[in-house]
Amino acid sequence: MTSADIAGDTSTGAKLLSAAREVIPGGVNSATRLVGAPYAFTGASGAYVTDADGRRYLDYHAAFGAILLGHGAPEVDEAVRQAVGGIDLVGWGVTEPEIELARLVVETIPSAEQMISVMSGSEAVSQAIRLARAVTDRPMIVKFQGGFHGWQDAVARNVISTPDRAYNRDPLSRGILDAALDATLIAEFNDLDSVRELYEKHPERIAAVILEPIPHNVGALLPETEFIEGLRALTSEQGSLLVFDEVITGFRHALGGYQQVCGVTPDLTTFGKAMGNGYPVAGLAGPRTLMERFSSAGGDVLLAGTFNGNPVSSAAGIATINYLRDHPDFYERTHALGERMRAGLGGIAGELGIAAVPSGFGGVFALYFTEGPVRGYRDLLRDNDEAYVAFHRRMTDRGFLMLPLALKRNHISAAHTEADIDRTLEAARDVLRSIRDDGLLH
């Protein structure tokens, strides 16, 4: 989006974006935030956000899924207020909140015997990859086409790739060394043979396989049992680590993450976003034998970060996990609402004669504009991205906040209701009809 795109727009949001561009590159601190109106927000509560011009939106974006309990969840915010009134950043020794957070994580995530606390999912993945390489003394990582694991060089490639770049070299950024790109190999989700082929081509060179157990960064590709169990067996057989990136699936789909759902225990687990209901906290967990390779335990893998385990973020994580432990109905409700949404969208598409496949798990939903089935990224190359973006844009224009970028998913929080879902579906019927009638389906 250029300055010309908002020229002549006299809204408060457009004025704020113009002012931001004077002091922030492009006016935003993350490129995916620059997707058109609404340009700026001033408030959030429960399932709703309010833009700078006073318009209220039912929020399905939820900060890429970070908002699990709803905006301004009182249990979390009160815990943070108490933490601020107690101890702030010391940078020496340990504090009670970070001990309690680690204890809760160890009790809830099947793969966890110990954890480290960091500030973002990208940091957690960086630690996991470095640890895997140190433990195995191997250089290479396998990720899957369409999977996103943060902005760091080791994995910043092959996410939402165009057909001509998918499975080939497709970096997310300039400035990444060729050696970093070449050390990350690309496989196809739900295709175990594609992983086996990489092991055959690079024997005893692969340190780890990392995956989103549900690749939510391309909507929601659901893992087949044989595939995810096969990965566990194959990585063990080959002497590699299996890393679940549960930054999105963790705590959202089950208290113990998707590994609790599928019954497959990885070697390492990264998590974040939802753990603090929007506060900056993330982590990496695994067995003691691996985690004690960090330098904090006398090992040879550097662990550093002044904000790691800070009391405020830890308090947010503790409060969120305790809420989920005390309210198991959270999962029943959000799963039911998600199924209501997916079934509704599928039914409407069928009524209107639109080729579309609803997908998702728990409280996450997406609507692919293609014929099914959708198993892996190759199937998503058939998706009508123009219709996908138009659906999200037109829903947002009607007051239902859905990020208007291809293959981005939507999230239902504890604050959403059945009435919200039904109202959304009513609007979706009109929007899908308009997309069909405007000739955007091809």
pLDDT digit string, tens, across residues 70-99: 999 999 999 999 999 888 888 889 999 999
Residue range 107-111: average pLDDT?
96
The residues spanned by each domain of the chain are 40-72+328-437, 74-326
pLDDT tens digits for range 307-326: 999 999 999 999 999 999 99
pLDDT at 3: 59
pLDDT at 8: 74
**The CATH number fitting domain 40-72+328-437, selected from 3.90.1150.10, 3.30.230.70, 3.40.1050.10, 3.20.20.140:** 3.90.1150.10
pLDDT at 91: 86
Fold of 74-326: Aspartate Aminotransferase; domain 2 (3.40.640)
Residue range 247-273: average pLDDT?
97
pLDDT at 23: 97
Mean model confidence pLDDT for the chain: 96
- 117, 101 Cβ separation under 8 angstroms: yes
pLDDT at 170: 94
Q: What angle do CA 42, 47, 50 make, to 5 degrees?
A: 20
pLDDT tens digits for range 177-223: 999 999 999 999 999 999 999 999 999 999 999 999 999 999 999 99
pLDDT at 273: 86
pLDDT at 39: 95
Question: Minimum mean pLDDT among 85-99, 100-114, 387-401: which range?
Answer: 85-99
Report whether the peptide linkage leading into residue 38 is cis, meaning its omega lies within 30 degrees of zero: yes
User: Does residue 169 register a pLDDT over 60?
Assistant: yes
Residue range 408-431: average pLDDT?
98
5 confidence band (pLDDT: 50, 70, 90): low
User: Does residue 4 register a pLDDT over 60?
Assistant: no
pLDDT at 351: 97
pLDDT tens digits for range 15-48: 999 999 999 999 999 999 999 999 999 999 999 9
